Amino acid sequence: MKGSRRTAAPRLAFVTLGCPKNTVDSEHMLGALVQDGFQTVGDPAEADVAVINTCAFLQSAVRESKDAIANLAELKSSGRLKALIVTGCLAQRSGASLLDEFPGVDAVLGTGQWKDVVGAARHVLSGSEERVAHTEYPGGAVEDGMPRALSTPRHIAYLKISEGCDHRCTFCIIPHLRGDQKSRSVESLVEEARQLAKLGVRELNLIGQDTTGYGTDLPGQPGLADLLEALDTVEGLSWIRVQYTYPRLWSDRLIETWARAKRVVPYVDMPLQHIAQDMLRRMGRAMTEKQTRELVSRIKQGIPRVAFRTNFIVGFPGETDEHYGVLERYIEEEPFDNLVVFGYEREPETPSYDMTPRVPIHQRRSRRARLLAKQQQLSRERLSRRIGEVTTVMVDGPAAGRGGQWAARTAGSAFEVDGGVVVEGDNLVPGQLVTVRITGAAAYDLFARVERSADPALNILG
C-alpha cells in the first residue's frame, strides 16, 4: 500500500499573492514540485497540498495574505486538504507565529527557503505531524538552472535579474524580507532569455527590487546597460521591458542604451514616491527634488516617445498641505502616462513607523483620492488626443465578454498593471504585433481596429 500511494501523483494547488517577483518564486517552486511528481490542479478544494506564496509589503497586504491562509485552512479542517504550506514575504516576516495563529498550517518557509518546498510537502504527506518554520535567511529565486513552470500567458514571461535591495528607504521593509541585493550574471540571464524565446515568449519583463542597481554586487560590476545590450541580441523576442528602476542609479549611458536598443521598449517604470524636498529627505530617497526633476526630464528627452510609470506616497509623516501641493502641481507640470498612488501605511520594523507628526488617515485618503482624480483627468485628455493615430500593439488574448474583440497593449503599457487597448479584428494570436488605428479612448484605455493595409513596421513602439 505504501508503494501505491507514492506512485499516485499528489495533487497540488498553488496560490500566489503580491508582485511579479513573487510570481517568479512561485514558478520555481511549482517547477520543483512538478519535477518531483506533483500534479497541478486549479481548485485548492481538489488538491492534496496547497502552497500559498504570500505578500507582506504593506499591512493591507498582510491582511490579504492572512485572509487567504484562513480560507485554505478551512479547507484543511474540512478534510479536503492534507497539507498547507505558507511561503514568501509574510512567512519571512511572521515566521513561527503563523503556526500559532493558524493551526491548519503545516510548514512556514521564508523567502530564502523556497527550495525546501518539495521536502516540506513530502514531509507532511508522509504522515508526520511535526510542524516546521524556517526563516533563517531572506532571499528569493535567483539561482541558475532551477526548474521553472511558467504561470503567465505563453507570450509573456518575467526575468528576475536580481533579488533584494541595498537601499534603505524609511518606509520600506523589503530589505528585511528579501535581504541585500544579489544579482545574476549577464551570461545566465541571456541564456534563460534564449530558452524563454524558444518556448514562445515574445515579451520579456525584467524585474528586481531595484533593477537599476543590477550588477553592483558582481565581479566587474556590469550594469543594467550592459545587460540590456546583451539581451537585445536575443532572437525571437519582440519586446523587452524593464520594471522597478530606482532613480539614483540612472546614468546617461543607460538612457542612451535604452533609446538605441531595438527590442527594449520606450517604457520607464520608476517609483519616485514624492517630489517635495522635505519628503524625499524623510523618506531616505538619496535624491534631492532638483536631482529628481532633472533626471525625469533627461529621460523624457533622451528616450523618444517614452511612456513613464511612477508611484507616489501621500500622507507620509510630516507631509503638509504645501508638500502635497508641490506633488499635485508636479504631475501637471511633468505628466506621467501611468500613475499609482498609495496612502501611507505605518509599517512596524521600518524607521518611519515612529516618525511624527502623523497625518490623519482621513487626510491621507483625501489626498490620495484628489491625486488620482487629477491623474484620471490628465490621462483622459492625453489618450483622447491619440484618436486617429496609427500604432502597433501586442495582442494578449480575447477581450473578456467582448465577442470579436481582443485585449492588447501598446509598448507603453505593462501587462496587468497599466491600461490597455481593446482591438476589433479577426484571427489574432496572443503575442502577435498588430498595426491598429485608435478609434476611441476612456480614462485609462484605448479602443482600436486592425489596419490591414498598413505597413506592419509602422510606429512599432507606439
Question: Is residue 285 a known part of a binding site?
Answer: no
CA 99 to CA 86: how far, in whole Å?
Answer: 10
What residues contact residue 423 under an 8 Å CB cut-off, 6+ apart?
A: 393, 395, 399, 405, 406, 407, 408, 434, 436, 447, 448, 449, 450
CA 273 to CA 176: how far, in whole Å?
Answer: 20
Three-state DSSP state, 328 = helix
Edge-to-edge strand list for the sheet holding 49-54: 39-40, 11-16, 49-54, 83-88, 107-109, 132-134
Question: Is residue 246 a known part of a binding site?
Answer: no
Question: Is residue 165 a known part of a binding site?
Answer: yes
Edge-to-edge strand list for the sheet holding 156-160: 156-160, 203-207, 239-242
Q: Using the structure block, give the residue that is written with the C-alpha cell 520607464.
A: 268
- For the chain, count helices (H), then strands (E): 14, 19
Q: Using the structure block, give the residue that is written with the C-alpha cell 533609446.
A: 259
Question: Is residue 55 a known part of a binding site?
Answer: yes
- Residues present in the chain in total: 462
Binding residues for [4Fe-4S] cluster: 19, 55, 89, 165, 169, 172
Binding residues: 19, 55, 89, 165, 169, 172
